Amino acid sequence: MIKIYHNPRCAKSREALQYLEEKNVPHEVIKYMEEPLTFEALETLLDALGMFPFELIRQNEQIWKDEFRDKDMDDNELIYLMVEYPQLMQRPIVENNEQAVVARPANRIDEIL
Question: pLDDT for 24-74, tens place per residue?
Answer: 999 999 999 999 999 999 999 999 999 999 999 999 999 999 999 999 999
Residue 103: per-residue pLDDT: 98
**In this structure, what CATH number is given to the domain that contains residue 45?**
3.40.30.10
The number of domains in the chain is 1
pTM assigned to the model? 0.94
Q: What is the β-pairing status of strands 27-30 and 2-5?
A: parallel
Over residues 69-113, the pLDDT tens digits come to 999 999 999 999 999 999 999 999 999 999 999 999 999 999 999
Q: Which domain holds residue 83?
A: 2-112
User: Which positions are annotated as active-site residues?
Assistant: 10
